[in-house]
């Protein structure tokens, strides 16, 4: 069997693919090597692995993950080798997974808008240009973290409309002090901030405020990242990720504002990624 993973900072989507092309999908938490160790990945995965299927049956692992740059791949590779000692392990960026899922063997542009942000130009087999998102401390414009951070900032500073602020208080019961403590003293503040994005979708108050906040974040993403790529005139804007998918109407509006036609927008790449590996001999 082949095991394929698409891992963000919050969640990992997995697919077990057997020799006949049958698939089995499951999820675990996200394993970004900038935030978790090899031991953490091993311990967490063992708790969430579907018990009816033996790890020894896995002969090859393709792990595509956020933060899986060359200097960090060893954290994930070692964890996969411990978990699947008989398997050949390949670790690469989640960005390559998204490009393969959306574009297959065709060239184009693809972005990730999830808990974090990434983007690239793809030539049909490899990433040929990538403007660094800089992570949540310095960048990640347009991401779930970016949206959640702005929402929390407006709440703490009293910049929300009164009805939105009251609904936020009724729903979350967070004080300013509790938020500051959670962001600055505990682990994974990017997940914490991104966890507030459902409020932007589900709130019954302040529709214009919420749309404006999302629109502004996406414009920052385009102006600070997307428009800095050379040769994207007339190129379609393709996107993978929970944030891009959830707010796709606003995303399409912003892409059109900057002259990019919208291509494919997927919530997650794992199904199309499995199909890619089937089409390309599972290699």
- Looking at every residue in the chain, the average pLDDT score rounds to 90
**Number of structural domains, the chain?**
1
Q: What is the CATH number of the domain that holds 86?
A: 3.30.420.40
Question: Residue 232's pLDDT is what?
Answer: 87
Any domain includes 202: no
Cα 252 to Cα 34: distance, rounded to the nearest angstrom = 31
Any domain includes 17: yes
Any domain includes 231: no
Question: Residue 146's pLDDT is what?
Answer: 95
| Residue closest to 58 by CA, chosen among 93, 13, 89 | 89
Any domain includes 254: no
At a CB cut-off of 8 Å and minimum separation 6, what does 280 contact? Answer: 105
Any domain includes 263: no
218-264 residue pLDDT tens: 999 999 999 999 988 889 999 999 999 999 999 999 999 999 999 99
Residue 110 has pLDDT above 60, yes or no: yes
Q: Which of the two residues, 220 and 19, has the higher pLDDT score?
A: 220
Any domain includes 252: no
Residue 13: domain span: 2-99+270-279
Question: Residue 115's pLDDT is what?
Answer: 87
Any domain includes 182: no
Any domain includes 48: yes
Residue 282 has pLDDT above 60, yes or no: no
């Amino acid at each position: 069997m082949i095991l394929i993973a698409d891992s963000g900072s919050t969640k990992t989507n997995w697919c077990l693919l057997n020799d006949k092309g049958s698939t089995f999908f499951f999820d675990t938490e996200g394993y970004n090597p900038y935030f978790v160790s090899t031991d953490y990945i091993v311990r967490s995965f063992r708790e969430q692995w579907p018990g009816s299927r033996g790890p020894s049956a896995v002969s090859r692992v393709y792990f595509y993950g956020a933060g899986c740059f060359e200097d960090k791949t060893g954290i994930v590779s070692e964890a996969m080798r411990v978990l699947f000692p008989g398997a050949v392990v390949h670790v690469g960026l989640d960005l390559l997974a998204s490009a393969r899922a959306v574009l297959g063997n065709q060239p184009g542009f693809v972005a990730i808008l999830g808990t974090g942000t990434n983007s690239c130009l793809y030539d049909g087999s490899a990433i040929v240009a990538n403007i660094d998102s800089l992570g949540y401390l310095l960048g990640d414009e347009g991401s779930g973290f970016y949206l959640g951070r702005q929402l929390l900032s407006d709440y703490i500073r009293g910049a929300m409309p009164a009805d939105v602020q009251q609904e936020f208080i009724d729903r979350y019961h967070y004080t300013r002090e509790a938020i500051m403590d959670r962001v600055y003293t505990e682990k994974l503040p990017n997940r914490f901030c991104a966890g507030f994005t459902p409020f932007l979708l589900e709130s019954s108050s302040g529709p214009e405020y919420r749309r404006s906040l999302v629109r502004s974040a996406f414009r920052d993403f385009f102006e600070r990242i997307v428009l800095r790529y050379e040769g994207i005139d007339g190129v379609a804007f393709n996107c993978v990720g929970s944030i891009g998918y959830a707010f796709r109407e606003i995303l399409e509006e912003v892409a059109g504002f900057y002259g990019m036609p919208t291509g494919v927008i997927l919530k997650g790449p794992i199904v199309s990624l499995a199909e890619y590996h089937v089409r390309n001999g599972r290699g």
